Amino acid sequence: MKTDRPFSSILVTGGAGFIGSNFVSTALPRFQGRVLVYDKLTYAGRVENLIPLRKNPRFKFIKGDIVDGARLLKVFKKFQVGAVVHLAAETHVDRSIDGSLPFLVTNDIGTYRMLESARIHFNTLRPKAQRQFRFLHVSTDEVYGSLGQKGSFKETSPLAPNSPYAASKAAADHWVRAAFQTFGLPTLITHCSNNYGPYQFPEKLIPLTILNAVEGKPLPVYGDGLHVRDWIYVQDHCEGLWRVLQRGKPGETYNMGGQRAGEKKGKTTNIRMVRHICRILAELLPPAINPSLRRRGLGRYQDLIRFVSDRPGHDRRYAIDNTKIREELGWRPGHTLESGLSKTVEWYLSHLDWCRAVQEKNYGRERLGLKV
């Protein structure tokens, strides 16, 4: 059995975001070193996400932009970074349609700056520290484009991005691969399916649906609602990231999706997902006691569903093949879609103050991504 790497410190870019803050919560109990969160604090990177972590003496927050190479080099040197988990990115497809430049700057130039800073730092390390060092780039299944009616994305699937967001992430993947092939920087790449869980900013489908339903607002479903997505609970994803960071082979790519071996569920259409959320809400917050629904004279959350114009270039189907990471690293998701979604709905219902705080003067859950 392989043992975990004794990293002295891990630098987590985007660590104040949704996946980043969940990853830090996963990593801190796993080793004795320091976890450094480096985050620009955009609309989706929030100090509120870090409140549960700040009491840990091995946690440190550094405000900074990954495009700032000089600052990055100072951080690498000062804290003698032993590993990088690169999560900082602009991530919302709709926003990339409305304005692509921030995605190019952060996801591509920012990743280049991260790789250059890591490479310079890596070349100053002693041989033992170089053998331990890892640069984990967290990417997305969207770089593969859209699947047909059958099959799943494998690590060998060609990259064929269809949105500006996906294109920016695919380009970043190529920079990471080049850093390994050309400079010998020990990089790793992961492609995950759609994440859901605590601390996800309410622009994404699941939290937006939960909050709109609670407030008796329309539940928008793009197009015919039959777009298929593979869903992974964020804690399972973070467990997988830790496994790849510790035991992944430099230069390799690992795909992570939410479907467990031998199970049929994990993938579902968007309309089924919305209806599933409505059913869970009906159990936890029955419509009869929800004043927002009573004022509208509605007896079911499903009555709020509204089909709206589709997103430009909307990929029809995603599905992830987990075989490689299961067989080589022994990772598999621990949550079914049902168990993970129930936990998620419960979390949002019990954290409505957090929801209000992160949206205040920032986002009104309006429709984005209509620019053509």
Catalytic residues: 141-142, 165
**Which residues are paired to 307 by β-bridges?**
221
Please choose, from the candidates 77, 70, 90, the residue with its C-alpha nearest in 3D space to the C-alpha of residue 36.
77
Q: Which of 120-141 are b and which e, b meaning 16 or more Cβ less than 10 Å from the residue's Cβ?
A: ebbeeeeeeeeebbbbbbbbbb
Contact 135, 185 (CB under 8 A): yes
**How far apart are the two ends of the chain, measured CA to CA in Å?**
53
* Burial degree of 27 (CB within 10 A; 0-12, 13-18, 19+): buried
Contact 209, 274 (CB under 8 A): yes
Structure token pair of residue 37: 């969160």
* Burial degree of 364 (CB within 10 A; 0-12, 13-18, 19+): exposed
Please report the DSSP string for 40-60 in residue order.
Answer: ---SSS-GGGGGGGTTSTTEE
**Which residues are paired to 192 by β-bridges?**
140, 256
Please choose, from the candidates 204, 191, 64, 180, the residue with its C-alpha nearest in 3D space to the C-alpha of residue 122.
180
Q: CA dihedral defined by 244, 25, 23, 59, rounded to 10 degrees?
A: -100
Helix (H, G, I), strand (E, B) or coil at 315: coil
Helix (H, G, I), strand (E, B) or coil at 148: coil
